[in-house]
Chain A
Amino acid sequence: QQPVQSPQAVILREGEDAVINCSSSKALYSVHWYRQKHGEAPVFLMILLKGGEQKGHEKISASFNEKKQQSSLYLTASQLSYSGTYFCGTDKGNTPLVFGKGTRLSVIA
């Protein structure tokens, strides 16, 4: 079951914040976040394991609520380099990742 990402697209000005959500109808063991620039390979951002942890990566952080089967990616003080499509990948434990359809983020000056 493909996780649902929201919003599908968002446009930000430099310095603004954004939140990208990832929801699953199945119980999750972990959530992975990746960012992809157009025509390039997805780049790993972070993994969250069940336990409700929150992780950070520069000005990008994420949370994982296993009870709600949701994860959120937080981008603060966005930079032009943050533009791209963000994908969440969910794992039920010992199964391949299932990726959402992605959220297209555009940061403008």
Chain B
Amino acid sequence: DGGITQSPKYLFRKEGQNVTLSCEQNLNHDAMYWYRQDPGQGLRLIYYSQIVNDFQKGDIAEGYSVSREKKESFPLTVTSAQKNPTAFYLCASGWDTANQPQHFGDGTRLSIL
């Protein structure tokens, strides 16, 4: 079955530690996205990529980094510079056209130890 797989489902970060969230899709979508979700804030765009080896900052990119070395993979690293990383992180993919939906993974919940 085609879809988006995020791992792990739960992740804990220690102070000063970088952590990487995995996102893999087998839908052959060109575009991939990372969103952060906090209670009452909706989904805020962190980074997006429309093509392999290229990505763009979203509205809240500070303290995060990404790579897009393969079409199916778009990992997100939460660096130690992100001082408030506790949130629900959602990865999505799509055809990057206005008339096509985005498909979301099941999310990773990141907490501070």
Contacts and interface: CB of A to CB of B under 8 A. Distances in A.
B42 A101 contact: yes
B101 A47 contact: yes
Contact of B45 (A30, A41, A42, A96): A96
A97 interface: yes
Nearest to B9: A39
Nearest to A95: B98
Contacts of B42: 2, 87, 99-102
Contact of A42 (B58, B59, B104): B104
A94 B58 CA distance: 14
A31 B37 CA distance: 20
Interface string A18-45: 0000000000011010100001111110
Contacts of B107: 39-41
Contacts, number: 55
A2 B60 CA distance: 13
Contacts of A29: 98
Interface in B68-110: 88, 90, 98-107, 109
A14 interface: no
Contact of B98 (A39, A49, A98, A101): A49
Given A96-B33, A98-B45, A44 B101 contact: yes
Given A2-B42, A101-B42, A41 B106 contact: yes
Contacts of B45: 96-98
B48 interface: yes
Interface of A: 2, 29-30, 32, 34, 39-44, 47, 49, 87, 89, 91, 93-94, 96-102
10 contacts: A2-B42, A32-B101, A40-B106, A41-B105, A43-B104, A96-B33, A96-B58, A97-B102, A99-B35, A101-B40
